Amino acid sequence: MRGWWQDLTDLVLPAECGGCGRSRTVLCPECRAVLSGAAPSRVRPVPEPPGLPVVHAAARYADEVRATLLAHKERGALALAAPLGTALAGAVRAGLKEWGGQAAAGGGVPVLLVPVPSARAAVRARGHDPARRIALAAAGELRRTGTAARVLAVLRQRRAVADQSGLNSRQRLDNLAGALAVAPGGGRLLRGGPIVLVDDLMTTGASLAEAARAVRSATAPEERTGAFEGREQEAAAQRHFSGLVSYDEATTAVYTAAVWEGTGERTAGSADEAHRRMHSVPGMAGAGGAGDVVCAAVVAAPPDSFEINRN
């Protein structure tokens, strides 16, 4: 059995490269090049789930990249969050460049990175939320290179879902349908800039499509509630999410222990239905204003999803 001193030593002097196992390095130059050396590419699963925004990935999910992601997610190699965040930031930039928004040009409009949440049981078992940790590192890298960015961890699971590993694309869609919601008050924060959904890995696209549905529902047009009530709700939302929003230049943050209550999902009637129909075409992300799901970005995707020009 490993002693506590061995675990502490690994935090200071990592035992091995997360990708290839080379000793005493977080990620060797060769594995780092595989992870972030190539230009991020547009990826598309087949079949493509309805409502999936345009997705860019930094690398193919194979060999060293697969080993690196698993080391971070399942084996707690937390030092890998920094290089994984750098790779994710590249995918975010590629999506923003294609979108052509102000944030891509360094116009000062903050990009809102919204991580797809892991199940609470998985977070407890792993001791961390991998997508959120990588998103925080990506936001730090984006700010360092001149793109204003924040992390809004406002999505949560509103019901239990089955383990996705043994499910096909259709089963994953059914499993996740309606499973995510934006926590109360989060919709107002999401109107602060263009939204990029982020995750460590895309396989069938079901998780990203469900995340996009939840965000679009929370930011759909609704009737004006009055100036005073609106200010009160916005102030409450800022207080509620103060520990889940990344504003500083650091790439790490202390996660709050907030427990979300209620379903957190609004029903906006016909306006919500119209908004959902507008986004039902795969890859269509709306007009590109603040509060729109502009695109999605992931560290890795299956090799065959990079072949987007199939008939």
* 68 CB-contact burial (10 Å; exposed 0-12 / middle 13-18 / buried 19+): buried
Give a three-class secondary structure readout of 203-231. CCCHHHHHHHHHHHHHCCCCCCCCHHHHH
Q: What integer is the mean pLDDT of 159-185? A: 71
Quick one: pLDDT band at residue 76, thresholds 50, 70, 90? Answer: confident
Per-state percent for the chain, helix, strand, coil, to nearest 5: 40, 15, 45
- Count Cα atoms within 13 angstroms, Cβ side, for 254: 4
Give a three-class secondary structure readout of 236-255. HHHHHCCCCECCCCCCCCCC
What dihedral do alpha carbons 210, 215, 219, 221 form, nearest 10°? -10
Report the pLDDT value the prediction gives residue 2, as an integer from 0 to 100.
Answer: 44
* DSSP assigned state of 195: E
Q: Name the more confident of 50 and 169.
A: 50
Quick one: pLDDT band at residue 50, thresholds 50, 70, 90? Answer: very high
Report the pLDDT value the prediction gives residue 122, as an integer from 0 to 100.
Answer: 78
Which amino acid belongs to residue 193? G
Q: Which of 222, 305, 249, 287 is nearest to 40 (CA)?
A: 305
Which pair of structure tokens corresponds to residue 303? 């090799």
Query: Best-predicted range by mean pLDDT among 5-14, 87-96, 99-108, 183-192?
Result: 87-96
Model confidence pLDDT, tens digit, residues 210-265: 999 999 999 887 533 343 344 445 444 554 444 455 544 333 332 333 323 223 33
Model confidence pLDDT, tens digit, residues 174-208: 656 667 989 998 999 998 889 999 999 999 999 99
Report the pLDDT value the prediction gives residue 307, as an integer from 0 to 100.
Answer: 80
Contact (Cβ atoms closer than 8 angstroms) between residue 272 and residue 266 = yes
Q: What is the pTM of this model?
A: 0.74
On the question of pLDDT at 273 being above 70, the answer is no
- State the angle between helix axes of 169-176 and 206-218 in degrees (0 to 180), rounded to the nearest 10: 30
DSSP-assigned beta bridge partners for residue 295: 196
Q: Which of 118, 60, 53 is nearest to 87 (CA)?
A: 60
Q: Name the more confident of 154 and 233.
A: 154
Q: What integer is the mean pLDDT of 142-152? A: 95
* Averaged pLDDT score across all residues of the chain: 76
On the question of pLDDT at 147 being above 50, the answer is yes
* DSSP assigned state of 167: -
Query: Best-predicted range by mean pLDDT among 98-112, 256-270, 271-285?
Result: 98-112
Report the pLDDT value the prediction gives residue 160, as an integer from 0 to 100.
Answer: 67
With a pLDDT cut of 70, the percent of the chain lying above it is 64
Q: Name the more confident of 101 and 127.
A: 127
Residue that has been written with the tokens 């890298």 in this structure: 141
Report the pLDDT value the prediction gives residue 128, as an integer from 0 to 100.
Answer: 87
- Collapsing DSSP to helix, strand or coil, 299 comes out as strand
With a pLDDT cut of 90, the percent of the chain lying above it is 48
What dihedral do alpha carbons 150, 72, 20, 34 form, nearest 10°? -20
The domain limits of the chain are 40-306
- Ramachandran bin of 231, using left for φ above 0, alpha for ψ from -120 to 50, beta for the remaining angles: alpha
d(CA 127, CA 77): 11
Q: Name the more confident of 191 and 275.
A: 191
Report the pLDDT value the prediction gives residue 121, as an integer from 0 to 100.
Answer: 78
